[in-house]
């Protein structure tokens, strides 16, 4: 009897890619012995033979080439000794190998989200699973969530790249954090969190366009406002009220004397909801062709306030 193939190492719970195979030969070590019964057994350690539904002993018959084989599945980390014996007792052998725990990793790449309390939103998050550095395609991923959100499914399956996605929906979410957890292999997990932020913590700032100046006849660019919480996290779903006036150009104030009161050329009020990036875009209220100052005031939550003045010079 000779070893044709052997799994040089096992991984717990993983069927070996190379089966444990032996060949029965006659005394000339050339002529195969066909239709002979060979018993595979786990002498020590924890393992099972795939050909016999994971049993620790397995009797199989050689083919016309004298070959017989079965894949091996590790049961626990540590040394494992396997034997193969011809049932009549004419030949037998043992091999010893090491069962190691596979390196399994699950990660969620989506950044945690911050939502205005009372707002509703939907996100799709994805868990990436790998084993020993390779994508775990076809792997079931079980999703759970604490109160505050609903999930599109309790279980999804990893695609060819090892990614499994789920849709998370928050409806008029109350203040506080909600965690969504995805678990693969029944215990390798990753988490993602959405936090609803109270209106007293909403703040607003200018992300772009707040320092521009143009000449009469040129249009002002849109102004991008950014809503955050007190810690600077971008805040989705926050209601923003925007007030604008276009005031006539004041010119140079006389000295001594008071500046003349500027006429209000136009005024407007609008509202918007901060997007997934925490942004609100405001188109400046501009009276075409006239020198003026466009004043924008934005309010959010109970404390958030910002004012911007955009000159349109003669």
Q: What is the CATH number of the domain that holds 114?
A: 2.60.40.10
- Condensed to tens digits (0 to 9), the pLDDT of residues 14-62 reads 777 668 889 888 888 889 999 999 999 999 999 999 999 999 999 999 9
Question: Are 80 and 111 contained in the same domain?
Answer: no
- Condensed to tens digits (0 to 9), the pLDDT of residues 203-249 reads 999 999 999 999 999 999 999 999 999 999 999 999 999 999 999 99
- Condensed to tens digits (0 to 9), the pLDDT of residues 68-106 reads 999 998 888 888 999 999 988 778 888 888 878 888 999
Domain boundary among 177, 197, 217: 197
Computed over every residue of the chain, the mean pLDDT equals 92
Question: Are 132 and 174 contained in the same domain?
Answer: yes
Question: Are 176 and 205 contained in the same domain?
Answer: no
Boundaries of domain holding 253: 200-313
Exposure of 103 in the CB half-sphere (CA atoms within 13 A): 4
Question: Are 204 and 135 contained in the same domain?
Answer: no
Query: Residues 67, 84: contact at Cβ < 8 Å?
Result: no
Question: Are 234 and 301 contained in the same domain?
Answer: yes
Question: Are 92 and 109 contained in the same domain?
Answer: no
| 146, 233, 227, 198 alpha-carbon torsion, rounded to 10° | 40
| For residues 248-265, average pLDDT | 74
Q: Can you give the pLDDT at residue 229?
A: 97
Question: Are 141 and 57 contained in the same domain?
Answer: no
- 144-153, 165-174, 257-266 — which is least confidently predicted? 257-266
**pLDDT exceeds 90 at position 13:** no
Q: Can you give the pLDDT at residue 170?
A: 97
Long-range contacts of 29-36 (CB under 8 A, 24+ apart): 29/2, 32/62, 32/64, 32/65, 32/66, 32/67, 33/62, 33/66, 33/86, 34/62, 34/63, 34/64, 34/65, 34/66, 35/61, 35/62, 36/61, 36/62, 36/66, 36/86, 36/87, 36/88
Domain boundary among 58, 85, 100: 100
Question: Are 141 and 207 contained in the same domain?
Answer: no
| 28, 29, 33, 37 alpha-carbon torsion, rounded to 10° | 120
Higher pLDDT, 302 or 8: 302
Domain boundary among 71, 100, 129: 100
How many folded domains does the chain comprise? Answer: 3
pTM: 0.75
């Amino acid at each position: 009897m000779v070893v044709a193939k052997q799994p040089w190492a096992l991984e717990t719970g993983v069927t070996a890619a190379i089966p444990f195979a032996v060949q029965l030969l006659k005394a000339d070590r050339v002529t195969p012995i066909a239709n002979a019964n060979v018993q595979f057994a786990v002498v020590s350690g924890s393992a099972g033979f795939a050909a016999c539904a994971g049993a620790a002993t397995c009797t199989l018959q050689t083919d016309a080439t004298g070959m017989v084989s079965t894949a091996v599945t590790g049961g626990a980390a540590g040394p494992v000794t396997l034997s193969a014996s011809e049932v009549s007792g004419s030949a037998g052998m043992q091999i010893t190998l090491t069962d190691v725990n596979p390196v399994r990793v699950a990660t969620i790449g989506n950044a945690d989200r911050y939502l205005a309390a009372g707002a509703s939103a939907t996100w799709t998050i994805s868990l990436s699973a790998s084993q020993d550095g390779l994508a775990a395609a076809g792997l079931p991923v079980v999703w759970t969530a604490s109160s505050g959100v609903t999930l599109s499914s309790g279980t999804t399956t990893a695609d060819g790249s090892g990614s499994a996605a789920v849709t998370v929906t928050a409806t008029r979410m109350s203040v506080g954090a909600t965690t969504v957890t995805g678990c693969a292999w029944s215990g390798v997990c990753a988490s993602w969190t959405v936090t609803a932020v109270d209106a007293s913590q909403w703040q607003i700032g200018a992300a772009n366009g707040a320092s521009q100046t143009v000449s009469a006849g040129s249009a002002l660019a849109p102004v991008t406002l950014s809503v955050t919480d007190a810690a600077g996290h971008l805040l989705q779903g926050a209601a923003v009220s925007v007030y604008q006036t276009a005031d006539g150009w004041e010119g140079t104030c006389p000295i001594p004397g008071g500046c003349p009161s500027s006429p209000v050329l136009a005024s407007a009020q609008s509202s918007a909801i901060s997007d997934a990036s925490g942004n609100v875009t405001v188109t400046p209220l501009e009276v075409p062709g006239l020198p003026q100052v466009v004043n924008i005031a934005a309010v959010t939550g109970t404390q958030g306030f910002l004012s911007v003045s955009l000159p349109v010079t003669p």
